[in-house]
Structure 1
């Protein structure tokens, strides 16, 4: 049996170039998204939005992105994935710059739509290509792309803090990212052909460039269990990012300076875990790693719910972040075994936005009706769901690597 931890597959220069190109795409995607959300207070002040209006705007972005991922599943059967990804990432960063230049609400809405739709297309296609490239490598590399994405979010936060402190307008901040990233993306984007989705494209990039993508029908049912895992994981992440500091501050009476560390600890632990996860998967196998990580995530959320002191909740959030670090990447890898067109990966990607929206929207109202501890019990239950389904994900990944 050959599994995903094997290292005997010949790795070509083109495959290495594609991997570098995808690292840059994941970094650009994380930097753009993180930069926008880090500077939302400036957007709010510029347009004099109320809290409710800003909340609607922030919810609209993942809604548009989620819809775009579904469309992308059909588009990749008509337009080659590397072409779609290259232009979608440019459109995404263009939308970000337009937000910086917006001097009217109408212009802001237009820019918001451009970025939301393009973000969803990039999200779907970069995951398709990461999974396709991993299948060519025949060893785990996909979690490393997510480490780059996580690191980009931290860089975006620090850069946003610096530019805000310096009083730089949004168009300067976002424009600088565009000027640096777009030429780099267009230059390295040619290498994405070596991570093309589909059997023909993977085996012979030159032949794939001359061949139109095949149109296939991919059933939804096999995607649903993977979608449940992704919804659960992103619900927990969204509940940590949107409500973690509120929980530590209001329920455990921590000062804001301490409460603010809730999501920071979650993100830092996730980044650290992702930096080492591919090596661990190659060393111990996907099944063992994903089951242990699911247990760690469950332990973390239990610590959050039953915390009697702020440090316990902070440790719980960190454990949850470290445990969930592999869940989404391996879920996409599992989706990639359903078909070789990328459609299943695009469909699975939609569930990430479902989880994100539910986590942000449900914790607060449930806490108002009961308490924040009870609201966070949802995350505990979803961690159990992930643990229950984790073995199936790993079995699908490792089973796909068996020779026919």
Structure 2
């Protein structure tokens, strides 16, 4: 059981390194292709669009082949498409590569969250938030690496192509020896080919949406926000994403004990209120350093809201955990599909500052829907 816990934690770390490398180079790709903020927003829709093509079928694939084999099959797609994006400098090509990247990301993301839930069920100890904390550490490391290489003016192609073989070897070392964990018990319903949403999963999406969109927007636009709003060196610009991720990682690594003591609902309400305060600080920041502080506060606020949503979905118990996790993530990504274009259009017309301001009402909704974290049967 100890091996299973440490391998699933290591898998989350590897997944973050694979998924996060391209995000610090998006501003460089934007400049290389001469894209406006609005055009970039449309191109960035490729990733959630690609993810949508997989969410409906992810549960059936995972139940048929198991999380381990699914991850081994699709995580290399995430790694290779990120590298290819640096040499196929065309908006249509980047859109298509991001769509493939999103497909691989979505299936591997659902599979490893299902596996983390299986480890929790088999061991009787929380591991989901620790896994997401380590994921944030991995994303932070790859973001800091990207920030450093941007500061040194290293070409994105050299960065991502050198990283690709390292990540594939790490993936094989971690995943190939993973023990097979039994699925979580559920009542009555057989596995279906399509993981359709229920009222219970829709309620959880309403809770997690603000945090998820805030994290996604920060990944794509935080560096651009500092670049366009303040006169600071590229290295300082690149610290926006690591600031958010460092706070998220710290919060997630400490969260399991806090949630065990105070319960998920109380913790979620406190953190969502903190996220609102941090986003207000970002929107009203007079300089880059106050904005960086705002990203730290937002990172602390949203740190465990998304994993709490996934854990609650996996524990509903009316059908296989993979179906509820996939259905919850499907609806989440459907809403997320239009977010890059909307944020890009607002950023181009009114500035990135106001684009971030649009996220405040969604974080308030997260606060209001925190009660959905209590286990309840789907309707």
TM superposition shift of 1:233? 1.3
Aligned equivalents of 1:343, 1:106: Cα separation in 2: 32
Larger Rg, first or second structure (1 or 2): 1
Aligned equivalents of 1:309, 1:50: Cα separation in 2: 26
Structure-2 change in CA distance of 1:356 and 1:30 (3 Å)? farther
Q: How does 1:222-371 map to 2 (within 5 A)?
A: 222-244=200-222, 254-257=230-233, 261-305=239-283, 313-338=291-316, 339-354=319-334, 356-366=336-346
* Equivalent in the alignment of 2:135: 149
* Equivalent in the alignment of 1:137: 123
User: What SS does the aligned partner of 2:65 have?
Assistant: coil
* Equivalent in the alignment of 1:72: 58
User: What SS does the aligned partner of 1:256 have?
Assistant: coil
Aligned equivalents of 2:79, 2:243: Cα separation in 1: 28
Maintained 8 Å contact 2:44/2:95: no
In structure 1, the gaps of 5 or more residues are 1-14, 201-212
Residue 106 (structure 2) pairs with residue 120 (structure 1): yes
CA distances 1:8-40 after superposition (whole Å, capped 9, x unpaired): xxxxxxx32222222232222221222122234
- My pick for the range that moved more, 225-234 or 324-333, is 225-234
Aligned equivalents of 2:191, 2:286: Cα separation in 1: 55
TM superposition shift of 1:151? 1.8
TM superposition shift of 1:109? 7.0
In structure 2, the gaps of 5 or more residues are none
Maintained 8 Å contact 2:122/2:182: no
Structure-2 change in CA distance of 1:387 and 1:40 (3 Å)? closer
Maintained 8 Å contact 1:198/1:342: no
CA distances 1:166-213 after superposition (whole Å, capped 9, x unpaired): 74672x54344333332332343245444453439xxxxxxxxxxxx9
Aligned equivalents of 1:78, 1:381: Cα separation in 2: 40
User: What SS does the aligned partner of 1:50 have?
Assistant: coil
* Equivalent in the alignment of 1:180: 166
TM superposition shift of 1:225? 0.9
Q: How does 1:90-101 map to 2 (within 5 A)?
A: 90-99=76-85
TM superposition shift of 1:362? 2.8
TM superposition shift of 1:324? 0.6
TM superposition shift of 1:325? 0.2
Aligned equivalents of 2:103, 2:166: Cα separation in 1: 22
CA-based RMSD of the aligned residues comes to 3.7
Structure-2 change in CA distance of 1:378 and 1:178 (3 Å)? closer
TM superposition shift of 1:294? 1.9
CA distances 1:75-117 after superposition (whole Å, capped 9, x unpaired): 2243222221222223332434554665999987775554332
Which of 36, 39, 50 in structure 1 is aligned with 2:35?
50
Structure-2 change in CA distance of 1:279 and 1:364 (3 Å)? same
Maintained 8 Å contact 1:230/1:328: yes
Aligned equivalents of 1:288, 1:55: Cα separation in 2: 35
Structure-2 change in CA distance of 1:55 and 1:77 (3 Å)? same
**Number of residue pairs aligned between Structure 1 and Structure 2:** 367
Residue 11 (structure 2) pairs with residue 33 (structure 1): no
TM-score w.r.t. the length of structure 2 is 0.80
TM superposition shift of 1:123? 1.4
Residue 191 (structure 2) pairs with residue 215 (structure 1): yes
Structure-2 change in CA distance of 1:166 and 1:148 (3 Å)? same
TM superposition shift of 1:313? 4.6
Maintained 8 Å contact 1:85/1:126: yes
- My pick for the range that moved more, 159-168 or 128-137, is 159-168
CA distances 1:32-80 after superposition (whole Å, capped 9, x unpaired): 222122234555577x453466544332122202332222123224322
Aligned equivalents of 1:110, 1:291: Cα separation in 2: 38
TM-score w.r.t. the length of structure 1 is 0.76
Structure-2 change in CA distance of 1:299 and 1:130 (3 Å)? same
